[in-house]
Amino acid sequence: MRKLLLVEDDRDQMEVRRLLFEAQGFEVETAATLETARTAAAECAPDTVLMDLRLPEASQGLELVRYLHTLARRPRILVLTGWPDAMRGAPEEAWVETVLEKPCPTRKLIAAVARSVLALMAAVLLPAATRSVAFELPSAGHAVAELTLRSPKAQPRVPGEVLPVIAIERPGAPVHHLTLAAGAAGAVYRVQLGHLAAGRHTVTLTGEGFELDASRVSLDDSAMQRHAPVLFARANTLGRSSDVPLLMYAEASRQGEFTVHEYTVIFSNEDGGTSTRALMARWGRTTDIEYIYRVYLDAAGQRRKAIIQTRNHQDVAYAGPFDGDHPLLVPVTDNNMVAGEAPTAIRYQLAPVLVDLSRESREAVMDRAPWMYRAMSEELERESKLRPFGTVDGQKISRPENYLYVELKSRQTHARVAVRVRLRDEALWRASHLGRADYAIERSGWMRSTVELPPGTSPDAVAEIGAECLVDVPSDRSKPAPAGGSCEVEAISKVFFLAPGGPGPSLFRTAAPRVIQAGETAVWKVR
């Protein structure tokens, strides 16, 4: 965990900042005087110090800066002061990373500390080779590169450790990044390099484990690429291995006179919102798949309207900021809702893939990039969200390979659907909803769920699969539950276990639809 030392002689301001940065995921120490600040810095070895200059005199603040500079493990120093002139021109100014003038907006303060953390990460995580890769483009256009993870080092699985970050740099363009979220060779990340002229270009990579060659750079001048969002890391994930964006996909449709592109990001997890147990029951994964941006284009391809999904899952109009046609978005909640607010230091320029989800669930996008299951599992382990099979421990789950994954298409009317599984030689049914009606699925369409099974269960051991229909649970508990309802299971398209390389072969798929009433379970024999 990142360590931050707050030095402030105004107790009220110090308490407000302590709460603010603890909410952002920092381990915070505080000090109100020069003496206590010196002691705290020596004992807790902070990564960053955010300090007032007048303690109560500016001379004491300058003395603290000099002391911090003498430490064997020098922290990065940010000064927050109402008297910036006392710092300007002083010799100690050279040892201070940033001087912020009071009053300082909260967003600006968080962004400054986040940049400091990223710089610290870069010093630790990116000492490796910086190499340049040249490529030729036959014509001008929007360049997309594929970066393939090869021979990766073992990924950290201990809370507090951080994943490697790759910096991608092209002359005249902002530096952008990738976080290596999967400890498996073969993970392929698609990134945008921007609009480039015809001819020879160079991209510089700083970090280890990626290969990039000319055959993996292509031109894509589609409106989908031109309007794809730029996404910054969430402020409270900097310096942590949490909620990493893995892949972006886009869906295209027509709405009246407009062509609509909707962009969705698959994150490695979510720190807030749906619990881990509910994610497995209701979505069949613990990644976080969130639509973040929708753009409406006229016949000339010009943006006429833009929508983002922001706090409380609200769709709101988006007016900027933009980089060209790319909206600049940053997640602002622990379940990765976005806004156009102060950017953080890590910038992701993922190149979206176009998908058609009319015949499958959005989780199927993960099936085509199976390394994401490895990233999902490793984050669960790093964040201590796993527990032994068959036990109950808060919202923790069993290892993902202990679950049977079922994809189905179902239409609910005043009802919810859940999945049941029976193994051979057992007079026992196991259910996805864990006995909770609110863990069953009320939405209609393509969906995915999972059922926990004993470790090592083989595909041959699965005897029957059931779809259970339950009365709907109103979100407003003051309203009475419906007297009945129905579920029309139109198809079961995939039933699989996770193999080392991703989803294994499907065990079963249905043919004819079946309609069941609330309180009933339809059963299919697997073999």
Determine how β-strand 338-339 pairs with β-strand 326-331: antiparallel
- Please choose, from the candidates 363, 366, 386, the residue with its C-alpha nearest in 3D space to the C-alpha of residue 374: 366
Least confident of 185-199, 207-221, 268-282: 207-221
Ranking 11-20, 266-275, 295-304, 387-396 by mean pLDDT, the lowest is 11-20
State yes or no: pLDDT of 127 exceeds 70. no
99-136 CB burial, b ≥16 within 10 A, e <16: bbeeeeeeeebbbbbbbbbbebbbeebbeeeeeebebe
> Mean pLDDT across the chain, nearest whole number?
88
Q: Are strands 188-196 and 199-206 parallel, antiparallel or unpaired?
A: unpaired
Contact 488, 514 (CB under 8 A): yes
CATH, residue 456: 2.60.60.20
- Same domain for 310 and 403? no
Q: Specify whether 57 is located in the same domain as 178.
A: no
Q: What residue type is 164 in one-letter code? A: P
Q: Could you tell me the CA-to-CA distances from 158 to 161, 185, 249, 334 in Å, in that order? A: 6, 20, 30, 21
Return d(Cα 24, Cα 272) in angstroms, integer. Answer: 13
Q: Which of 184-198, 420-434, 483-497 has the lowest mean pLDDT?
A: 184-198
Is residue 1 over pLDDT 60? no
Q: Is residue 120 part of a domain?
A: no
Tell me phi and psi for residue 215, to 5 degrees. Answer: -70, -15
Structure tokens at 32: 């109100």
Least-confidence region, from 122-131, 386-395, 432-441: 122-131
The larger pLDDT score, comparing residue 321 to residue 210, is at: 321
Determine, yes or no, domain membership for 382.
no
Residues 170 and 280 in one domain: yes
State the pLDDT confidence band at 122, using cuts at 50, 70 and 90: very low
Per-residue pLDDT, averaged over 252-260, amounts to 97
Residue 171 in any domain: the answer is yes
75 and 153 inside one domain: no
Taking residues 20-43, what's their average pLDDT? 85
Helix, strand, coil percentages in the chain from 3-state DSSP, rounded to 5 = 20, 40, 40
Residue 337 has pLDDT above 60, yes or no: yes
Q: Which residues pair with 294 in a beta bridge?
A: 262, 307
The CATH number that applies at residue 61 is 3.40.50.2300
Span 33-47, average pLDDT: 89
For the chain, how many residues are written?
527
Give the confidence band of 472 by pLDDT, cuts at 50, 70, 90.
Answer: very high
pLDDT in tens, 493-503: 999 999 988 99
Within a domain: residue 212? yes
* Residue tagged 């003051």 (tokens): 478
**362 and 407 both lie in a single domain:** no
Q: Which pLDDT score is estimated for 470?
A: 96
pLDDT at 126: 40
Res 91: pLDDT: 79
Which of 367, 387, 409 is the C-terminal boundary of a domain? 367
Mark whether 337 and 410 lie in a shared domain.
no
Question: What is the spatial distance between Cα 423 and Cα 455, in angstroms, rounded to a whole number?
Answer: 13
The interaxial angle of helices 11-23 and 106-125, nearest 10 deg, is: 60
Query: Does residue 121 sit within a domain?
Result: no
Quick: pLDDT tens for 150-164: 766 555 555 555 677
- Do 154 and 265 lie in one domain? The reply is yes
Closest CA to 501 of 347, 378, 388, 373: 373
Segment of 71-75, 100-104, 228-232, 474-478 carrying the highest mean pLDDT: 228-232
List CB contacts of 389: < 8 A, sequence separation 6 or more: 398, 399, 402, 452, 454, 455
Q: Is residue 142 part of a domain?
A: yes
Return the pLDDT at 123.
43
Q: Please state whether beta strands 130-137 and 210-211 pair in parallel, antiparallel, or not at all (unpaired).
A: unpaired
Residues 6+ apart with CB under 8 A from 228: 192, 248, 250, 263, 326, 350, 351, 352
In degrees, rounded to 5, the angle at the alpha carbon of residue 191 between the alpha carbons of residues 185 and 196 is: 140
Percent of the chain exceeding pLDDT 70 equals: 91
The β-bridge partners of 420 are: 431, 466
pLDDT at 129: 57
Cα gap 69→5, rounded to integer Å: 14
Mean pLDDT of 126-146: 82
Mean pLDDT of 501-508: 93
User: To which residue do tokens 């029951």 refer?
Assistant: 281
Which ranges constitute the DSSP H helices of 71-139?
106-125
Is residue 385 one of the residues assigned to a domain?
A: no
Give the residue from 59, 87, 104 where a domain finishes.
104
Q: Quote the DSSP letter at residue 153.
A: P
The answer for 435, left when phi > 0, alpha when psi is -120 to 50, beta otherwise, is: left
Cα(318)–Cα(418) distance, integer angstroms? 37
Domain membership of residue 115 (yes or no) is no
Query: Is 155 found in the same domain as 80?
Result: no
Q: Which residue has the higher pLDDT, 240 or 379?
A: 379
Say yes or no: 171 and 296 in one domain: yes
Q: What is the pLDDT of residue 125?
A: 39
Work out the angle at residue 259's Cα, subtended by the Cα atoms of residues 253 and 260, and round it to the nearest 5 degrees: 60
Looking at the structure, do residues 191 and 72 belong to the same domain, yes or no? no
- Domain of residue 54: give its range: 3-104
| Same-domain status, 263 and 358 | yes
Considering its fold, how many domains does the chain have in total?
3
As a whole number of angstroms, the distance between CA 220 and CA 122 comes to: 31
- Cα–Cα–Cα angle for 301, 173, 231, rounded to 5 degrees: 65
For residues 341-368, average pLDDT? 94
Final residue of a domain: which of 317, 346, 367?
A: 367
pLDDT digits (tens, 9 = 90+) for 54-84: 888 888 999 999 888 888 777 889 898 888 8
Asked if 442 and 500 sit in the same domain, the reply is yes
